[in-house]
Amino acid sequence: MKKTGILNRDIASVLARMGHTDTLVIADCGLPIPDGTMTIDLALTVGTPDFLSVLKAVTNHMAVEEMILAEEIKTSNLTLYNQLITDYDGIPTTYLTHESVKHDISNAKAVIRTGEATPFANVILKSGVFF
């Protein structure tokens, strides 16, 4: 049995298959996920697991070149937005409309669905390289 790192076999597998510029989405429990897009559903109850805990676990094991957020997070979820720009200050961030973010999900390797239930708690992580 694995005893360190990401224990969820589906997340560990996706991370191992990520290449430069591939994308991975971490989503709140309400984000519509296109049919055919690999979904790793971690949602247990409203708020569990929360978005930031899942994001932290994933980014500890993934080289991230860029984060893509919905522009609307800046006004509709200021608490989460401030936490993200503080915690991930070194990662370039791009902002798209929420509609554009939803459109780009279909290009992702996978979507990790959390129990988060706050507005616009979604991020597209673009894979970088560690060298």
- 77 is a domain residue: yes
- 99 is a domain residue: yes
Domain that holds residue 86: 55-131
- Predicted local confidence at residue 1, as pLDDT: 85
This prediction's pTM: 0.96
Q: Of 24, 5, 18, nearest to 124 (Cα)?
A: 24
E strand map for the chain: 23-27, 39-41, 64-70, 93-96, 110-113, 123-127
- 47 is a domain residue: no
Tally of domains in the chain: 1
What is the CATH number for 130?
3.40.1650.10
Catalytic residue among 17, 20, 61, 103: 20
pLDDT averaged over 10-residue windows placed end to end, the chain, 131 residues: 93 98 98 97 98 98 98 98 97 98 97 98 97 93
- 64 is a domain residue: yes
Q: 């094991």: which residue's tokens?
A: 61
- Predicted local confidence at residue 63, as pLDDT: 97
Residue 62's CB: how many other CB atoms inside 10 A? 18
- 117 is a domain residue: yes
- Predicted local confidence at residue 90, as pLDDT: 94
Q: Is 61 a catalytic residue?
A: no
Are 1 and 83 in contact, with CB atoms under 8 Å apart?
Answer: no
Binding residues for substrate, by number, are: 28, 98, 120-122
- Predicted local confidence at residue 52, as pLDDT: 98
